[in-house]
Structure 1
Amino acid sequence: MREHKPQEHIPEDTSSNDKERETTSKNTEQATSNQADDMSYDDVAKQALFHWDRFSRLGNLDDLEKVIGYSIRGLDLIPEGGPDTIRWLGFLVKCHDSRYLRLKDLDDLEKSIAWCIRRMEVTPKNDVSLLSQLKDMVLLYKARYQRLRRAHDLEKMLEYSSRLLAYTPEGHPSLPEVHDRVGESYIYRYEWNNCEADLKQGIRYCSFALELTPDGDECLPYRCAAVAEAYLHLYRRIGNMADLKKGIEDYTRALELTPDDNPVMAHWLASLGRAYSDQYERMEDMDAFSRSIDQTSRAIELTPDGHPGLGDCHEILSRLYHHRFRRLGDATDLSISMEHISRALKFTPDGSQQLSDRFSFLGGLYLELYQARGDHQDLDRSIKLMTHAISFAPEDHHPARAFLYFSLGTPHGDRYRRTGNLADLEKAIEYHDHAAELTPKGHTLLPVRYVALSMALADRYRRMGDPVDLGRAISFIMSVLDLTPDNHPSFPEQCTSLGQLYIEQFRRFGHISDIDKAIEYRSRALKLTPSDNKRLNVMLSNLGLCYIYRCESSGDIADVEKAIEHNSRALELTPDGHIGRPGVCIFLGISYRNRYQLMGDIADLEKAIEYTSHALTLTPDGHIELPFRHYLMAASRHQQYQHTGDPSHLEVCLVSFRRSSKLSVAPPRIVFNNALDWARLASRHTYLHPIEAFRAAMELLPHFTWLGATASQRYYDVTMMDNLAVRAAAVAIRSSEYATGLEWLEHGRCLVWNQALTLRSPQAILEKSHPELAAQLYDVSQQLHCNENPKYRYDLAKKYSDLLAQARLLPGFEDFLQPTKAAGLLKAARHGPVVVVNCFRNDCDALVIMPGQDDIGHVALPNYTEAKARHARSEIEQLVCNKGLRERGFMLKGGRARVQEPDPDVGLVLADLWNDVIKPVLEHLGYLTNDVTGQLPHITWCPTGALTFLPLHAAGDYDQPRSKVFDYVVSSYTPTLTALLTSAPTMPHRVPRVLAIGQTATSGYSQLPGTTRELASIRTHTRDRAEYSQLTGRKATPKAVLKAMENHDWVHLACHAHQNVTDPTKSGFFLHGGRLDFAEITRRSFRSKGLAFLSACQTATGDERLPDEAAHLASGMLMAGYPSVIATMWSVMDEDAPMVADMVYSELMKDGKVGGGEAGRALHNAVARLREKVGERNIARWVPYIHIGS
C-alpha cells in the first residue's frame, strides 16, 4: 500500500537464489549439531545468541538454521510459560520472519505466525512485551495478506492493530505509530471491500498519527504520504475536489521533507504525478498535465532499471496521455499512451494484481483505436486483452472486478453494434450489470457504469423491443444525472445519452414531448462541450438527429434547416477514415431528403443520394447499419424515379430494397421494417414488385416476432405489423395466387399461437431415428413454453433455433417443423368446408377449402369493405354497451336509471353481412338450394382482420324469410387452419371425464345463482355416461382447477371472466382466491382433451389491437390442448346459460365425443331453442354463443 520508515524486519539479502533455498529447506530439528542434545541449557542459550549475532552481522543462513534448532531445543529444556519461553518463542518468530524475507518461502511466514500466536498465549496480560508482540502480529498478518490477498488476514490485521491501540497508554512514544497501524489496516480493508466507512476510519487514524508526530521526526514524511494517499483514495471514491487538493498538498509536503536519495522518493513522486493526472482529467487543466509529466518523469529517473516501480510510472504516463487523447483527439497521444502501458506491463511481476488492471487498460486503448479508425481487428484485440485481464483478477465478488467487468462490457457492446451478434450484446449487459452491482452507492465511478449499462439496455430494446429494457435504461440515466454536477466532464455525455433514450421513447409512443426533451438534453450537452473537444462532432450529429425526428413528425422546415446545419458542422469536424463519418453522411442524406419532401427541390434529393452513396461506400460488408443505409438509398431512388421517370433510378431502387430486406447482421426488427416499407410502397406501385416485396416481409416475420421475446412483447410487435398478413394476402389474391395468399394468412396471423403450437408439436418421427436430438429439442421447447423471463428466453430461443437447424440438416428432415404449405393446409377441411374470409380496405375475398379437394375456391366479395366491417363492429358494440352486457349476470331491465342512447339498428349490418359476404359463399357452395329438412351442412369460418369481431353465424336479413345463415348451415369458427390440423376428435374407447367449475359469488361482481342449476343439469346428463367431478366455491382456486384439468377430458367453467384490453395475457377467469389467466392457461400442454365449455362473459371477445391474434380465453383453451371450445363473444344472461348448457350436454352425452363437429351442431340446436324462447331479434341474448374448433 505505502512505504514505512520503521525497521520492521531484518534487511533482505538479494543474493539468495534457488540453490540457497534448496540447501536450507531441511527440517529445523536437524539444524543443530549432534552435541546439542547433550548441551546444558546455558550452553544452548549461548549458542543461540552467538549464531543470531553472527547472522545479524553476516547474513549467513546456516547461522539462522542453527538459531532455530537451538531455540527449539531451549524450549524443550524449560517448563512452559516462564519468561524464557517468551524469549525463545520470540527468537523463533524473528528467525522464520527473517528467513521468509530472504527466501519468500510461505512455510516460514506460516511458522512465524504460529510461533507468535503461541507466544501471546503464554504471555501474561500485564507483560510489557505484549505491545511488541501485538505489533509483530499486525506486521505478520500484513505480510501474509500482501502475499495471499485473503480477507481473513485483513480482519486479523485490523483486530491486532485495534488491540495494540487499546494496550498502548496515553503519552506512550509509540502512540503515533500505533494509530498509523490502525489507519493502515482500515485502508487495506477499504482496498479490499471498497467500503467508504473503512476509508474514512483509515483517514481518521492516519491523520491523528500525523498530528502526534513532531517536526523533525524521521517518520513525518511517511505519515504525510499515508494521509495523502488516503485522501486520494477518497477522491477517487466520491469525487470531492477538496480531497484531491488535500492529497496533493500532503504528498508535496512529504517530498519536501525527503532527500532525493531516499528509496521511497520515486514512489511518492509517481503518486503525486498520478494525483495531478486526476486533476487534469477532472478539470482539463494543462498546468496539471505538465506537473503530472514532470513528477512522473522524475520518478522514472530515480527508479533503478528493472524495478517494478517503473511499471507504476509508465502506467501513470499512459493514463495521462490517454486523458489528453480523449480530450483533444490527437492520435499521437493515443500511440504514446499505448507505448507507456506496454512498458508498464514489462515491469509488472508475474502474479501481480496489477496485471489485470494493465492488460485491461491496454485493451481499452485498442478499443479507442477501433473507435477512431474502425478496424475490427483492434476491437477483437481489445476483447482478447480484457478477457485475459480477468484471469489475473481477485475472487469473483472482489470490488476490483467492477472495473474489469465494466471495461470488458464496453467492447462487447461495440462489437454488437458492428456485427449485430446478439451474444455480444448479452455479454455487454451481463458485464455492465456485474460492474454496477459491485460498485457501492456514492462511488465516483457509479455514474459511468450506470451510463454504460443504460446504453447496453437501449441496444437490446432496439433489438428486441421490450419496454422493460427502455424503462430501466431511462431510470439509470436519470439517477446518473442526479449524481453528477453540471461542471463534471462526463455530464455532456450523460445528457446526450439521455437524449437518445427519449428518441427511443418517441419512436415507440409518438409523443412529441419526448423528442422535445431529447433536443433539450442534447442542446445542453453541446453547449457544455468545449470547441476543441474531439467529441464535438458527435454532439453536433446527435443533436442533428433529434431535429430530423422532429421534422418528420411536425413537418416544420425550421427543424430541417437545423438538422442540415448541425450535421454539416459535424461532417466538417469528422476526419476521413473516422468510424463515425458514414453515420454523419447518413444523417445529412436524411436531412436533405426531408427538405426535398417539404420543398420539392430536386437538388436536395440529389444531395441526399450523394451523401447516402458516400456513406454506403464507407460502410464495410457485415456492418450492422448496412441494411438500413440500403433502405435509405432505395427510398431516395424511388423518389428520384417518380420525379424523373428515369428507369435506371428504379433499377437501383429495387436492388437497394432487396439488399435492405436481406437478413444479415443487422437487428431483424430493422430488416423487417425495411421489407415492410417496401411492401407498403409496392402495394401502391406495382412496378416495385409487390409479390416479391411481401414475400420478403413474410419470410422475415418469424425473426421480427422472435421466440426469444416474451408473449407480451410479441403481442406488441404484432400491433406494429400494420396488418401485414391480410394486406399481403389481398395482393396475392388480386394476382390469383390463392395458395400463396392462404399460406400468408396462415403464417402471418395468430403468430404467438402458432409459435406455442410449434413448441408443443409432436417429435415422434425425429425421436425414432435421432432420440438424443429429439430429447434435447423437447426439453428446450418445454422450457421456452413455460418460461417468460426475458434473460432466459434469449438463450433458450437461440438454443432452440440451433437444434432445429441441426435437425433440418438430417436426411428426410429438411422441412421439420417448417410452416405448413398450402397442400397441407387443405387437409384442415375434414368435416365440411372451411371458409377463410380476408378483408383489407376495399378488397374482400373468400378462399374456400373443400374436404378431399386439392383446389382452393375463390369467391370475390366486391360489395364488402374493411370500412363496412368496422362500422358493423361499432354498431354491435354500441348495442352491447347500451344493454350493459359487461359480465354474466347482467339485467336487461330494472337497473338504475341512466341516460341511454337509442339502440342502433344492428339488423342493417347483419343484413349487409348476409348479402355481401355469407350469401355469395353459400351460393358458391350450392347450399342455398339444399333440402333443409335433413341435417344441415357444417361450415367452419376463418375470418381475418376486422371481420374477426363480427358474428358471421348471425348474418341474415331478418325482414326476409329463409335469409339467415343458420337456415342453411351449422357454423363454427377457427382462428387458424393449423388449429384444425392439430386437433383430433376424442376417441370413444372410454367414457369422458368431465370437470365442472362453478362460482356463484365473486367479490366485486354480481351473483350468479344460475351456475348451481347449470352444474346440476350437467351432473344429470353425465350420469351413467361420463365420470363427473366438480369444484365450487372455496375449493375452486386457480391452482386446484389447473390440477383437476390435467386429470379430466372435458371442462366446464361457469363463472365470471374478464378480457384485459391493455394486456391480453392478463385476461382470465375469476375463481376463489385469484384469477386463472390466459398466460397460465397457454403455458399448459394438455393431451387428448375434448370440450371446453366457457360459460362466462367475454371469453371470445378478442383484442381490438390484435384482430388476427385470437388473443382471448377461448383460443387459450385451444392452445392448451382442447380441440373444441364453446365460448361467448360478450356477456350472457345468467338465466340463459343453464338452458344452453342443458341442451348442449343432453345432445353430446348421447355419443360422449367431440372433435368431429358434434359440439358445433349441439350448440347450433341449443341456440335455436334459446332463439325460439327470446325471439330472433333479441340479438343480445342468443348471438354471443359460438363454437370454436372441430
Structure 2
Amino acid sequence: LSKRYSRGGNLNDLELAIAVGRKALRMMPLQLEFRRDETNKRRAHVLMYGSCLNNLSNRLRSRYERTGKMADLDDAIRYLRFACQFGDLAPQDYLASWLNNLATMIRNRYYRISHIPNLEEAVQIARDSVGKTPVGHKSRGTRLSNLGNHIQMLYERTGDVKYITEAIETARLGVSCCTPGTLDYAATLDNLATKLSWKAIKDEDVSAQEEAIRLSREAADILPPDHPEQASYLHNYARQLKLFRIEEKAELRRLWSQAWKSFNSPYVVRLQAARFLTDFLLDSNKLADAYDLSMEVIDFLPQIHNKSLTLHDQQFVATLFSGFATHACSLALHFKESPAKALDLLERGRGVMLSLMTDETKDRKAPTSEQMMCAAADGAIVVFNITTLRSDAIVVMDTEMKHFHLPNLGAARTQEWLQKNLTGGSPRERGTKNKAYRNFLTWLWKSGVKTIMDGLQYTFNADLTQLPRVWWIGTGLASFLPFHAAGDFSMGLAESALCRVISSHSPTIKSLIHTKARASRNIPGRALRNQLIVTMSKTPGEEDLPGVIEEAVAVVCATLEERAHVVALSQPNPEQVLREIDQCDAAHFACHGISHSYGPLWSGLILQESSTQQDVITVRDICESQHRHRELAYLSACSTAQSRSDGLVDEVLHVVSSFQVAGFNHVVGCLWPSDDAVCARIAASFYSTLNAGFISKHGDKAAPLAFQMAVLEIKLDKEYQKRPLDWAQYVHYGA
C-alpha cells in the first residue's frame, strides 16, 4: 500500500496503510523479558517491533507532508524515538535507518516551529545514522544527502559559511554513492542543487549557478509522471531558473504550472508553486491567467483547511493562502465582475480560521448577496481592498452594493506610510510622530474615506446619536488601517469620520453576520448584570500601570450604579480569569497586551503565574473556551486589535477577534500601545454613558456610540487635539 501510494499518490492507499500499521502494532505488544538462552529470540522480537514502529512512523510522516497535521508528525517522532531506545538489540543497519528517518522528521518539526534545538538534534542524529552506515551500503547516499539537508538548514539559520561548505561536500558524497538514473540518485541531485544555489548566491559563483540548474533539471527529468515528489523537483528547478536565468520565462511558467497541477504531491509545495506562478503572471501582465489561477487556489482551500486540523495546523495552512483572495478581488474588479463576485472571493479566501471556529454548520460557503445586504440593514459595510494591482472599496447597503475605485489609495503609498512605524518609538519622538500621523490620517481621509462618505451622502452632524453606523473591513495592506479616525482635522470635525458615522470594525462579512445573529438572541436593552474586572498594575518584566487602579474604580462605580454584580481580580493567572469569564456578561481587562510576530495564536493578555513570573492568556486559550453569549469585552491593553504576523494578516486573528469567537457581541481594543491616563478616562466615560436607559434607547448601537463619544471627548481636549497617537488606536468590533 505504501509503495502504491509513493507511485500514484492516492491518499486512500496511505490511510489504509496507516490503519494496517496501527493494527499490526496492537497485535504485537513489546516483550523484553526472555530467558538468558533466548537472546536471539529477544533480538528478533525487538527487530520486528522496531520495524513496525518505523514503518508506521514513515506512513504518518507521509500523511503529515500531504495534510499538514502536526499530530501525525509528533506521533511519528514519538514512535521512532521509542524504537531507537532498543537500538543496541537491533542490527546496526536497521538502527541506522531508523535514526535517518528520525532525523528527517525532527528537522521537519523545526521547519514548522523554528525551534533551533530540533535542528541541532536532527544534525546529531543524522551524523550518527551515517556513522552506522558502512561504505558501499545501498542507503549510504541518501543518508549522506539527508545529513547535508540538515546542515544546510543550519546555514540558513546562522549564516555561518562552514555549514554550507560542509553541506555541499556531504551532498556530493551522497550523489557519488547512488546509481545514476534511480529515484535515490534524483533525490540526491535535487538536494545538491539546492545547496549549490546557496553558494552561488553567497559567492556570486557562476559555475555553481550553472551546476545547480543542470542538476535540478536532471533530477526533474528522472522522476516519473504523477510521482508525489514531482511538484517539489519542478519547483526547485524553477527556483534555480528564477534565481539565475530569469529570462527563461516560458520555462518558468511551464514548471510552476506543472508543479501546481501535480495533484498527487504535497499541497505545501503545490501552493508555493502557485504563489510564484501568480506573481509571475501579474508581473507579466497575464491578468486573465492570474485571475483563473487565484480562483483555482481559493476553490482548493476547503479541501485542506477544515475542522479536522488543530488551530496550530490551521494557522500554518492559512499562511500558504495569504494574499490570493485580495488579488482575486482586485482581478475580478479589473475584469468588470460584479461587486458581489469580488466579495465572494474575499469571503471564501480570508478569515478562514475565524470561519471554522464560529460556523456551527461547517458551511464553508461565503454569504450570499442577500445575506450580506441583510447584514447591512442597520448600517453600511465598507470593504477596502488594496493590492499592487489596484485599490478599491466595496460598500454593502441594505438594497444594493456599490463599488468605488480608489487610485490615490495605492499599495506603494500605503506601504510607505506603514513602514514609517509612526505608532512606535521612544517618548521623545512622540511630538514628531504625532505630526506625521496627523498627515497620515489626512491622506487616508482624502485618498479613500472621504470618497466613501461623500458617495453615500454621509454628512457632518455634531450630534453623534443621529449618525448612521458603518462597519469597516480592511483586507491585505488595509487590514489594520484606522478608517474610523481618518480626517483632515485642519478643517475641523466636519472633514472626518468621527462626526459622519458611528464606526465599528469586523474581520469579515461572514463574522459580522454571525455576531449579529448571536446578538439578536439576547434580550434587547438588557443592562450589564455581571461584570468581571481584571487589573494588572504590576506585571513581571513590564512597566507598571498605576492608572489601572483609577480605571478599575471608575468601572466599578459605573456598574454598581446599575446594580450589577462585580467580580474584581487583581494580579490573576489565566486559569482564574478563564473560570470567571464563564459567569460574566461583561469583562474589562486593564493590563499589558502582546502581539506575537510568529503567529496570532500566541498573542494575548499578559497576566502572571507568580509575583516574579508573567503568564499569558493567549488567543488560542480564548478561542478554545467558547462560552454562552456575552455582551461586552473591554480590552484596555496595548495592541489587542493588531496582528504582527505578515503571513496571516488576512486572517484578522488577534486578541479582539478571539473574544468575538468566545461569544462576546461587542469588543473594544487598541491597534497600538495606549497612554495609561487616556485609557482610564475613556473607560470611565464609556461606562458612565452605557447605562440601562442608554442601552434601551439605542440597542446594539449603544456600545459603539458610547465608545465613540468617549474617544471624541479625548480628541476635543486641548491637551490631545494634536496628539492622534493617544486616541486614534481605539476600535470597536462587533454587532
TM-score strictly above 0.5: yes
C-alpha spacing 1:1108/1:817, structure 2 compared with 1 (3 Å): closer
1:1081 to 600, 619, 622: 622
Instruction: For 1:212-361, list aligned pairs within 5 A.
Output: none
Report the Cα distance in structure 2 between the residues aligned to 1:547 and 1:1075, rounded to whole angstroms: 40
> Greater helix share, 1 or 2?
1
* CA deviation after TM superposition for structure 1 residue 918, in Å: 0.6
Note if contact 2:96-2:132 (Cα within 8 Å) is conserved in structure 1: no
Q: Does residue 404 in structure 1 map to residue 48 in structure 2? A: yes
> Which residue number corresponds to residue 639 of structure 2?
1098
> Which residue number corresponds to residue 512 of structure 2?
980
C-alpha spacing 1:467/1:1044, structure 2 compared with 1 (3 Å): closer
C-alpha spacing 1:393/1:830, structure 2 compared with 1 (3 Å): same
Report the Cα distance in structure 2 between the residues aligned to 1:1102 and 1:1119, rounded to whole angstroms: 16
Q: Does residue 1144 in structure 1 map to residue 686 in structure 2? A: yes
C-alpha spacing 1:539/1:834, structure 2 compared with 1 (3 Å): closer
SS state at 1:1099 partner: coil
C-alpha spacing 1:869/1:560, structure 2 compared with 1 (3 Å): closer
C-alpha spacing 1:909/1:370, structure 2 compared with 1 (3 Å): closer
Q: Does residue 1009 in structure 1 map to residue 553 in structure 2? A: no
> Which residue number corresponds to residue 706 of structure 2?
1162
SS state at 2:378 partner: coil
Note if contact 1:394-1:400 (Cα within 8 Å) is conserved in structure 2: no
Partner amino acid for 2:679?
A: A
Partner amino acid for 1:545?
A: A
* CA deviation after TM superposition for structure 1 residue 1118, in Å: 1.5
Q: Does residue 844 in structure 1 map to residue 361 in structure 2? A: no
> Which residue number corresponds to residue 883 of structure 1?
427
Note if contact 1:394-1:401 (Cα within 8 Å) is conserved in structure 2: no
* CA deviation after TM superposition for structure 1 residue 712, in Å: 4.5
Report the Cα distance in structure 2 between the residues aligned to 1:689 and 1:957, rounded to whole angstroms: 41
> Which residue number corresponds to residue 741 of structure 1?
342
Q: Does residue 948 in structure 1 map to residue 479 in structure 2? A: yes
Note if contact 1:937-1:969 (Cα within 8 Å) is conserved in structure 2: yes
> Which residue number corresponds to residue 557 of structure 1?
206
C-alpha spacing 1:840/1:1044, structure 2 compared with 1 (3 Å): same
* CA deviation map 1:117-142 (0-9, x unaligned): xxxxxxxxxxxxxxxxxxxxxxxxxx
Report the Cα distance in structure 1 between the residues aligned to 2:14 and 2:730, rounded to whole angstroms: 62
Instruction: For 1:489-568, list aligned pairs within 5 A.
Output: 489=135, 493-502=142-151, 515-525=164-174, 529=177, 537=185, 541=189, 544-546=192-194, 549-550=197-198, 553=201, 556-563=205-212, 567=215
> Which residue number corresponds to residue 1040 of structure 1?
576
* CA deviation after TM superposition for structure 1 residue 745, in Å: 2.0
C-alpha spacing 1:742/1:381, structure 2 compared with 1 (3 Å): closer
> Which residue number corresponds to residue 134 of structure 2?
488
Report the Cα distance in structure 1 between the residues aligned to 2:372 and 2:507, rounded to whole angstroms: 13
C-alpha spacing 1:538/1:989, structure 2 compared with 1 (3 Å): closer
C-alpha spacing 1:830/1:390, structure 2 compared with 1 (3 Å): closer
Report the Cα distance in structure 1 between the residues aligned to 2:407 and 2:257, rounded to whole angstroms: 33
Structure 2 gaps, min length 5: 33-41, 610-614
Partner amino acid for 1:404?
A: M
* CA deviation after TM superposition for structure 1 residue 406, in Å: 4.2
TM-score (norm 2): 0.80
* CA deviation after TM superposition for structure 1 residue 502, in Å: 4.3
> Which residue number corresponds to residue 935 of structure 1?
466
2:716 to 1149, 1165, 1172: 1172
Note if contact 1:869-1:950 (Cα within 8 Å) is conserved in structure 2: no
- Tell me which moved more, 694-703 or 676-685: 676-685
* CA deviation map 1:36-91 (0-9, x unaligned): xxxxxxxxxxxxxxxxxxxxxxxxxxxxxxxxxxxxxxxxxxxxxxxxxxxxxxxx
* CA deviation map 1:577-633 (0-9, x unaligned): xxxxxxxxx63276xxxxxxxxxxxxxxxxxxxx4xxx57x42x5x32355678799
C-alpha spacing 1:670/1:543, structure 2 compared with 1 (3 Å): closer
Note if contact 1:454-1:472 (Cα within 8 Å) is conserved in structure 2: no
Report the Cα distance in structure 2 between the residues aligned to 1:385 and 1:747, rounded to whole angstroms: 37
> Which residue number corresponds to residue 657 of structure 2?
1115
C-alpha spacing 1:1164/1:432, structure 2 compared with 1 (3 Å): same
Structure 1 gaps, min length 5: 1-362, 568-585, 591-610, 764-803, 805-815, 886-891, 893-899
* CA deviation after TM superposition for structure 1 residue 1002, in Å: 2.8
Report the Cα distance in structure 1 between the residues aligned to 2:46 and 2:119, rounded to whole angstroms: 19
> Which residue number corresponds to residue 783 of structure 1?
none
* CA deviation map 1:86-115 (0-9, x unaligned): xxxxxxxxxxxxxxxxxxxxxxxxxxxxxx
Report the Cα distance in structure 2 between the residues aligned to 1:932 and 1:380, rounded to whole angstroms: 64
Q: How many pairs are equivalent?
A: 696
SS state at 1:672 partner: helix
> Greater strand share, 1 or 2?
2
> Which residue number corresponds to residue 229 of structure 2?
625
SS state at 1:742 partner: helix
> Which residue number corresponds to residue 865 of structure 1?
410
- Aligned-pair identity in percent equals 22
SS state at 1:944 partner: strand
Note if contact 1:1019-1:1028 (Cα within 8 Å) is conserved in structure 2: no
Q: Does residue 959 in structure 1 map to residue 461 in structure 2? A: no
SS state at 1:1156 partner: helix
* CA deviation map 1:1006-1054 (0-9, x unaligned): 44333333223223322353522122325x3322221111011111112
Which is higher, the Rg of structure 1 or of structure 2? Answer: 1
* CA deviation after TM superposition for structure 1 residue 848, in Å: 0.3
Note if contact 2:28-2:49 (Cα within 8 Å) is conserved in structure 1: no
* CA deviation after TM superposition for structure 1 residue 916, in Å: 0.7
TM-score (norm 1): 0.52
Partner amino acid for 2:427?
A: K
Partner amino acid for 2:678?
A: D
C-alpha spacing 1:690/1:561, structure 2 compared with 1 (3 Å): closer
> Which residue number corresponds to residue 354 of structure 2?
753
Note if contact 1:1100-1:1113 (Cα within 8 Å) is conserved in structure 2: yes
CA RMSD of aligned residues (A): 4.7
Report the Cα distance in structure 1 between the residues aligned to 2:178 and 2:228, rounded to whole angstroms: 31
1:831 to 364, 367, 378: 378
> Which residue number corresponds to residue 51 of structure 1?
none
> Which residue number corresponds to residue 211 of structure 1?
none
Report the Cα distance in structure 1 between the residues aligned to 2:66 and 2:237, rounded to whole angstroms: 25
Report the Cα distance in structure 1 between the residues aligned to 2:369 and 2:460, rounded to whole angstroms: 30
Q: Does residue 731 in structure 1 map to residue 331 in structure 2? A: yes
* CA deviation after TM superposition for structure 1 residue 833, in Å: 0.4
Report the Cα distance in structure 1 between the residues aligned to 2:79 and 2:317, rounded to whole angstroms: 28
Report the Cα distance in structure 2 between the residues aligned to 1:1062 and 1:513, rounded to whole angstroms: 28
Report the Cα distance in structure 2 between the residues aligned to 1:637 and 1:538, rounded to whole angstroms: 18
Report the Cα distance in structure 2 between the residues aligned to 1:1159 and 1:383, rounded to whole angstroms: 53
Instruction: For 1:608-623, list aligned pairs within 5 A.
Output: 611=221, 618-619=224-225, 621=226, 623=227
Partner amino acid for 1:541?
A: L
Q: Does residue 698 in structure 1 map to residue 298 in structure 2? A: yes
Report the Cα distance in structure 2 between the residues aligned to 1:635 and 1:483, rounded to whole angstroms: 30
* CA deviation after TM superposition for structure 1 residue 720, in Å: 4.9
* CA deviation after TM superposition for structure 1 residue 695, in Å: 0.6
